[in-house]
Amino acid sequence: MTEYREARPEDLGAILELCWEMHSETDYSKFELDRGRAAEFVGRMMESGYAGIAVEGDEVVGVLLGGVMPFWFSEQLQGCELLFYVRESSRGGFVGKRMVEGFKAWCELRGAVRTVLALSSGGDIDRKGRFLERIGFEPIGGLYARDLV
């Protein structure tokens, strides 16, 4: 049985291990991984943003970090995902869907009128996009990157 909940301080180590795994699977793996900086970021999200996790047994298998902020043109709020990862062995079921639903509900409770998830880490963008569309999200643009080093 999978448990979905907001992260607790004692979950930090397991979340970071999952983050290292995620980093190795993404287009960002070619860039330096500063574990201290990453730990500070995750800790800040746990304190002042959203840090949702999926736990199977005693193992953290998914993490979603995000927050709520105003649009640049309005006082209305939007929820923005900053990091979303589900371990490969837990993909293909409902883990990702349930994690997104938890984040969306958290955003709504804080007055957000929109929730935004990004596909910005490379990989199978088409598969990830189909997943988001199946659970009710619509594409509104795209991300483009150019390495400078």
* CATH code: domain of residue 97: 3.40.630.30
Quick one: DSSP state of residue 135? T
Quick one: DSSP state of residue 110? T
Q: Is position 115 within any domain? A: yes
Cα 125 to Cα 8: distance, rounded to the nearest angstrom? 31
The residues with which 26 forms a beta bridge, in sequence order, are none
Please give the residue range of the domain that contains residue 109.
2-134
- pLDDT score at 53: 98
Q: Is position 146 within any domain? A: no
> Strand ranges (DSSP E) for 71-131?
77-86, 112-116
- The number of beta carbons lying within 10 Å of the beta carbon of residue 22 is 18
Predicted TM-score of the model (pTM) = 0.93
Question: Residues in the chain with pLDDT < 70?
Answer: none
Q: Is position 147 within any domain? A: no
Which one-letter amino acid corresponds to residue 7? A
Q: Is position 53 within any domain? A: yes
Q: Is position 141 within any domain? A: no
Q: Is position 70 within any domain? A: yes
Q: Is position 35 within any domain? A: yes
- pLDDT score at 38: 95
- pLDDT score at 77: 98
**Domains held by the chain: number:** 1
